[in-house]
Every structure is written in C-alpha cells, then in structure tokens.
Amino acid sequence: MTGLIGKGKGIGIILCIVLAMVMMVGLGINGLAYAASEVKVTVNGKLVQFPDQKPYIDANSRTLVPMRAPMEAMGVKVDWDADKRQATLDNNNTKVVFTIDQKVYQVNGKNKTMDTQAIIVSGRTCIPIRYAAQAFGATVSWDAPNRTAVITTAPAPGVTHPAAWGKLPTIPVEKGVRVSPPEDKNNLYSIGIDVEVPGAVDNGCAILANIMDDPSAGEKAKTIILNAKKDNLRAELHGEFNSGKYEISVGGIKSPYVYIKIWPLDS
C-alpha cells in the first residue's frame, strides 16, 4: 500500500507540474497575443505616445485613438466641451467637431457621416483617427504587419514640396525671431530676425539649420549677417546659397530686421 500511495503522490506531483507548465505557456501565449494586438500611430514618421488609454480597433474595424496626442502632433488645437460632449479640433483653417456617440460630425460647419462614432473610454475621448486626420488634409494609411495607423500631413494649398512643409522648428523660437510657415510653392519659409536683440541672430540661424536639417546652412546665414552688420547694424545686405534642393536668401534693407527666406531651386 505504501508503495502505491507513494506512486500516487508521485503521479499527483507530476500532474501538478504539467498543469503549471501548461498554464505558464498559456499565459505566455496570451501575453504575446496582447503585445501583438497593440495598435500604434505615427505622424510624419514619429511614433505618438499614449500614456494611459491605448488606441484600439472597434467593432466597425476603425482605429479609435485618444484624440489629444495625435492631433497636437499634427499642429491641431484640441478643445473639449463637457456639457455638449463635443471635441473640437481647430488649426485656424479647418474646424472639426465630433460629438460623443454620434456618427454625424462637422467639418467647417458642414455635416458629414462616418460608419463609427467617437466614444469615451477610461475617461479619454477616443476619435476615429482616419476621419479626423483626413479632415485636415492628411493622408492616412494602415501598416497591417506593424498594426500602425500612418498619418502624413499634407502641404498647404499650392505647396508642392511636402518634404519642406510641416517641419516647424523643434527648438524654441526666442525673442527677436519670428518664423512664418509656407505661403505658397515659391516661398516655403521666412525667418525674421531683429539683429539688435541679443541672441536673436544665433537663434534664427539655429532655427534655419533645424528646419533644413543642415547645420552648415545656419552657419552660412550667420556669416552673411555678421559680415554685413558688424560695422553698421542698419546696413543693406543680401546673400544667397543653396542647401540641398532649396535656395536660402538672406536680406535686409537699412533696418535692424533681417529676413531669411527658403524656396525650392526649381520654383
């Protein structure tokens, strides 16, 4: 009997070990499945971070995302009206309004209908990113292998060089410097610098280098400004040089203000 009992205990222990291993494998598979099911969003190649509520695919096969992070990455202002349960997205040219639990949304006051709806999840307003991004002229595609919604912002009307569009400076624009975004295909950027403000020349030229991804562009512009202004801050100056596919013009006319302009060589 003792031998049988001992064998029974041994079999019981083995069964427990096997069950434990099966459970661990199951948990591992579930963990991998969860990781694989994570949905991501990129804006102009940069991964958008979502600290709490994550993007997900709803029952209508639409990618819903917490609205603030991706829209702000596109340069869009986000407002929330708790009383109306409405999210308003605005970039000065386009205004989009989503109402929670409704399939009708507005673009510049005109009603449009989608096949899903905005919803609140874990206290976050989640919107269908395709409808939201496309309302602002962006291109939205789905990278199935990586389960990623890929958003590419569109150039402004008339701008035919999107590589230079949308790259606003990632360094601070300080006092004495003003950066104007593209106006048309022939005037991609304008950086205004008040040379009488301490540090403005350095900041403005650093912003040029930042926009162009070309450190030498900033140094060349700075050299033109300093050589012309070293004896007379209100001297007339003009200089041009190329950076990749773009031409940089540095000019000023008997004023403390200097303007750096960028346009494509083939314009």
CATH number of the CATH domain containing 58: 3.30.457.10
> Residue 16 domain-assigned?
no
Choose the final residue of a domain: 152, 185, 201: 152
Which has the closest alpha carbon to 64: 148, 129, 133, 135?
A: 129
Choose the final residue of a domain: 152, 167, 189: 152
Query: 104-113, 158-167, 252-261: which range is least confident on average?
Result: 158-167
Query: 132-136, 158-162, 177-181: which range is least confident on average?
Result: 158-162
Q: What percent of the chain has pLDDT over 90?
A: 42
Give residue 192's domain range.
177-264
CATH number of the CATH domain containing 256: 3.30.450
Determine the average pLDDT of the residues in 19-29. 43
pLDDT of residue 44: 80
Same domain, 186 and 89: no
> Residue 51 domain-assigned?
yes
What does pTM read for this prediction? 0.50
pLDDT of residue 23: 46
At residue 164, φ and ψ (nearest 5 deg) are: -100, -5
